[in-house]
Amino acid sequence: MGRVLSSDLLKIRRKGLWLLAVSGPFGIVALQALNFGIRYDYLTKKYADDLWGGLIENIALLVPVTVLAGVTLISSLIANVEHQTNSWKQLLALPVPRTAVFAAKFLLSVILLGVSCALLAWGTAALGVALGFGWDFPAVKILKISFLPFLASLPFLALLLWMSLTVRNQAAPVAIGLLAAVCSLFAGQLPEFVPLAWPLLAAGPPSGLRLAVGGGVLLGALILLVGAVHFERRDVD
Amino acid sequence: MSEWIIQTKDLCKSYRGRLAVDHVNLNIARGEIYGFLGPNGAGKTTTIRMLLGLIKPTRGSVEIFGKSLKREKLHILRKIGSLVEYPSYYGHLTAVENLEAIRRILDVPKTRIAQVLETVGLTKDAKRPVKGFSLGMKQRLGIAAALLGEPEMLILDEPTNGLDPSGILEIRELIKAMPKQHGITVLVSSHLLSEVEQMASTVGIIRQGRMVFQDTIESLRRQSEGSISVAVSEPEEALLALLRMGFRGKLENGRIALERTDDQSVARIVKALVEQNHAVYRVEEKRKSLEELFLQIVGEGGGA
Ligand SMILES: Nc1ncnc2c1ncn2[C@@H]1O[C@H](COP(=O)(O)OP(=O)(O)O)[C@@H](O)[C@H]1O
Ligand SMILES: [Mg+2]
């Protein structure tokens, strides 16, 4: 699978995927820079006893919707590299297990989105320091809000990637993904066992976090497995 | 039995209850160029997709290199290079990058890329994005990709479709060189006999999913050899007389058309006619072109 992944990394050159992976975290940090920049006095007073906590809370609010939108666009763009010129028949006639092809695409998405998460963590810390909140930033907390919502979104990544890879027309997976992203803004009202509530839960207090992350990883793995089995068996046109 | 590189047994594929490929028994021997012929929609691409494991047969089996495709797919695919229908390529990448993407999966030495580009004559355009290539160049890049893994067998589906005459010629020369220079067996499909007859040693003709002819090109040529046309004074009576003597024929445009007949038979026919006081005006041999024969085979049995 390493060989397929290395081939995939080459194929996404000049496709704007890395740019997309950078723009997500950049967007969140820029928005909060604007927010804190404009309302500096008001917000620093409001969060006076925990400046870093206030910043992290505001960042965390934007993470679920951004992660879900990112998951949607990245999986669709990755699939499109093969759909665009009908490369499936060439790729899948190579001596490589189809499950490896499927897994490599998933891993590529995880790498791209993982880079986004890391950049978000770095950007959050940098923003806080720039805003004068001091150097003693709560690293664990920052890493948690940066990475855990992504782990909680893995079921969506597995599902949307599976859909994107199997249907040529990307309208359906993109529409579903973006709808989920928008709905996740209001996910606070959903019961905790609904997967759509997980990305937001994962950015919140520890009570719901375990279910959100654990459920996300488990359900994600399950959907990935089912998707891989289907991808292995389907006819390629 | 000789060594078949590809052998299918009663291969079937049905779409919505209709057999797109109907009990096809393909036999391809080592080192030959096998022309797989049939009109559009006959089932060539569907058959080829099954040979490559891209789609699953509804019934029947495929053996390649003497092994079951179902059981040893990856092992078999390692020794096959393929180009199915219109070319696959990554338009935003250069020719070299396209080949590198495949090379990484095949795990062959980097030097192969320059070699195959040389083989298909794309060395000059190696560093250009493929989206700017002509169809002929894309098709040649596809062949380069198929050759990258040093295959023993090349499967090319309509590689000359949509090309201009010079493009067709280039591809044909390329294919012709494969068995001789590289020891590669080739399966090449086409809907035009003329594109295949100059390179293929064996042809299989498929019509509405069924194999209707499979033999050497010489055998096809022999079949196309002429019928005898005889112009006489009273054709109806003359034909009756000949039929009574055991010859087979029919009236065509007021002439007697007799099936392929050897010299002795022609002599007997003329003698008999003369003895029965028919005036024999002309005895002609009519040759069907290979193309006519192909169209006849493909059109035979009619029905939609
Ligand atoms: N995925 C599919 N679904 C339904 N019908 C198909 C599919 N693929 C091929 N067919 C049908 O199978 C028949 C053979 O098609 P094909 O193998 O592409 O022919 P050829 O390559 O000889 O032109 C056609 O009637 C075509 O419509
Ligand atoms: Mg075809």
Cα B99 to chain center, whole Å? 28
Which of the four pLDDT bands, split at 50, 70 and 90, describes residue A43?
Answer: very high
Q: If you count them, how many residues does chain A have?
A: 237
Report the separation in Å between the CA atom of A159 and the middle of ligand 2, taken as the mean of its atom positions: 32
List the 152-181 stretch of A: residues with Cβ below 8 A of B: none
Phi and psi torsions of B109, nearest 5°: -60, 150
Residue B117, burial from CB neighbour count under 10 angstroms (0-12, 13-18, 19+): buried
Provide CB contacts within 8 A for A46, sequence distance 6+. A54
Quick one: which atom of ligand 1 is closest to the CA of A237? Answer: 1
Task: Answer whether A2 touches B (CB < 8 Å).
Answer: no
What kind and span of H or E run contains A138? none
Q: Do A236 and B49 touch (CB under 8 A)?
A: yes
Q: Which residues of A touch B88 (CB under 8 A)?
A: 85-91
Task: Answer whether A49 touches B (CB < 8 Å).
Answer: no
Q: How far are the Cα atoms of A193, B147, B250, B265, B276 from residue B272, in angstroms, in the given order? A: 98, 62, 17, 10, 6
> What ipTM is given for this predicted complex?
0.93
Please name the member of A3, A90, A97 whose beta carbon is closest to the beta carbon of B88.
Answer: A90
Task: Answer whether A95 touches B (CB < 8 Å).
Answer: yes
Crossing angle for the helix pair B135-147 and B95-106, nearest 10 degrees? Answer: 20
CB distance B15 to ligand 1 below 6 Å: yes
Domain limits for position A49: 2-233
CA neighbours within 13 Å on the CB side: how many for A176? Answer: 16
| Eight-class DSSP state of A211 | H
Domains of chain B as residue ranges with CATH: 4-222 (3.40.50.300), 225-287 (3.30.70)
Per the model's pLDDT, the better-predicted residue between B287 and B283 turns out to be B283
Phi and psi torsions of B154, nearest 5°: -115, 130
Tell the residue nearest (CA) to atom 14 of ligand 1. Answer: B43
Contact A158, A224 (CB under 8 A): yes
Tokens of B185: 């067996």
Q: Do A93 and B54 touch (CB under 8 A)?
A: yes
Report the separation in Å between the CA atom of B48 and the middle of ligand 2, taken as the mean of its atom positions: 9
Q: Which of B144, B184, B150, B153 is nearest to B48 (CA)?
A: B153
Between CA B87 and CA B159 the distance in angstroms is: 8
Q: If you count them, how many residues does chain B have?
A: 304
Task: Answer whether A83 touches B (CB < 8 Å).
Answer: no
Residue-level pLDDT at B260: 67
Domain count for chain A, please give it.
1
Cα A25 to chain center, whole Å? 10
Contact A116, A70 (CB under 8 A): yes
Between CA B153 and CA B183 the distance in angstroms is: 9
Phi and psi torsions of B168, nearest 5°: -60, -45
Residue-level pLDDT at A21: 97
Quick one: which atom of ligand 1 is closest to the CA of B49? Answer: 17
CB distance B20 to ligand 1 below 6 Å: yes
Tokens of B287: 């040759």
Lowest mean pLDDT among B37-41, B91-95, B271-275: B271-275
pLDDT at B1 over 50: no
Task: Answer whether A89 touches B (CB < 8 Å).
Answer: yes
Ligand approaching nearest to the C-alpha of B14: 1
- Per-residue b/e over A203-224, b at no fewer than 16 CB within 10 Å? bbeeebbebbbebbeebbeebb
Place of tokens 């010079």: B166
CB distance B43 to ligand 1 below 6 Å: yes
Q: Which of B20, B30, B4, B82 is nearest to B56 (CA)?
A: B20
Between CA A229 and CA A124 the distance in angstroms is: 39
pLDDT at B197 over 90: no
| Eight-class DSSP state of B88 | P
Between CA A184 and CA A201 the distance in angstroms is: 10
Please name the member of B90, B97, B149 whose beta carbon is closest to the beta carbon of A87.
Answer: B90
Q: What residues does B33 pair with on adjacent strands? A: B186
Give all strands (DSSP E) within A36-181, no chain letters. Answer: none
Between CA A28 and CA A130 the distance in angstroms is: 15
At B259-273, the pLDDT tens digits run 767 788 888 889 999
Quick one: which atom of ligand 1 is closest to the CA of A235? Answer: 1
pLDDT at A151 over 80: yes
Residue-level pLDDT at B291: 80
pLDDT at B225 over 80: no
**Average pLDDT value for residue range B17-24:** 96
Q: Which of A217, A101, A202 is nearest to A154 (CA)?
A: A217
Q: Which residues of A touch B91 (CB under 8 A)?
A: 84-85
User: Which pTM value belongs to this model?
Assistant: 0.89
Quick one: which atom of ligand 1 is closest to the CA of B206? Answer: 22
Q: Which residues of A touch B84 (CB under 8 A)?
A: 89-90, 93
Residue-level pLDDT at B300: 65
Contact A11, B101 (CB under 8 A): yes
At A109-149, the pLDDT tens digits run 999 999 999 999 999 999 999 999 999 999 999 999 999 99
Tokens of B123: 């060395």
Report the separation in Å between the CA atom of B225 and the middle of ligand 2, taken as the mean of its atom positions: 30
Residue-level pLDDT at B262: 79
Between CA A81 and CA A78 the distance in angstroms is: 6
Q: Which residues of B touch A93 (CB under 8 A)?
A: 52-54, 77, 80, 82, 84
Between CA B95 and CA B128 the distance in angstroms is: 6
